[in-house]
Amino acid sequence: MKKILFIACLIWATSSVAQSSHFTGFSLSLDYADNGFDDTSTPGGHSYSQNGVPSVTAQYYLPVNERFVAGPYASYDLASTDTSHIQGAANHPFETGIKVGYAVSDQLLAYLKLGYSFSQFVQPSGYDSWMHGPSYGIGADYLVTEHIFGRVEVSQQNYNTLRWSDGSSDKCIISSYGVAIGYLF
C-alpha cells in the first residue's frame, strides 16, 4: 500500500511540475478586443461608444511553483479606441504590468493581470492630452499545440486624468472583451 501511495504521489508531483512548465517562457500574441469607451464628465454628462481594436501582446512567464507562473506583460493597441469621432480617440493605448497564472491542466492556464495604461487622447479640434491609470483583467490561455495558444480575456483600463481643451476633466474607462492567438517560444 505504501508503494502504491508513493507511486501515486510521484506521478501527481511530476504531472503538476509539468503543468506550469508548459506555459513558461516568452510569447507573442495578436489580439482582437471589442472595446467599450465609457466617458463620465466632471461636472456632468456621460457618453459611451464601442469598437473593435487589434493589438499585440508580449509576455514572459517564470515558474513560481508546480502550478503557478508569473511575469511581466506589455500590450500595444494597433488602432485607436474611437469615441465615434465626436469627442476624440484614445490613440494607441499601451499597457504594461504583471500576470499571475494558475495551470489548471497541461493545456489550460487561468490568469489575473494588474497593470498601468497610457494613452494620448486626441480631440477633433487638434488638442491632445495624455491620460493614464491602473488596469486589470482576467483571462485564460489554451495550448492548442506545444507552441500555439488561444486566449480569451476580459480587462479594464481606468483613466482618471483626461483633460479637455477648456480645462475640464473626465474619468474614462475602456472595457475590453478579447480573443487572441499566440506563439510560445
The count of structural domains within the chain is 1
pLDDT at residue 36 in the model: 75
Give me the numbers of helices (H) and strands (E) for the chain, helices first please.
1, 9
Contact (Cβ atoms closer than 8 angstroms) between residue 69 and residue 61: yes
pLDDT at residue 79 in the model: 74
* Domain range for 104: 2-184
Q: What is the mean pLDDT of each run of 10 residues along the chain (185 residues)?
A: 57 51 91 78 57 88 92 88 57 89 93 92 69 92 95 89 67 86 95
Q: What is the pTM of this model?
A: 0.77
Torsion angle defined by CA atoms of residues 56, 62, 64 and 69, in that order, rounded to the nearest 10 degrees: 20
The radius of gyration computed from the CA coordinates of the chain, to the nearest angstrom, equals: 20
**Of the candidates 59, 60, 88, 91, the residue with the CA atom closest to the CA atom of residue 78:** 91
pLDDT at residue 88 in the model: 60
pLDDT at residue 46 in the model: 56
pLDDT at residue 39 in the model: 67
pLDDT at residue 175 in the model: 86
pLDDT at residue 10 in the model: 47
Going by their DSSP bridges, the two strands 81-82 and 89-103 should be labelled as antiparallel
CATH of the domain at 105: 2.40.160.20
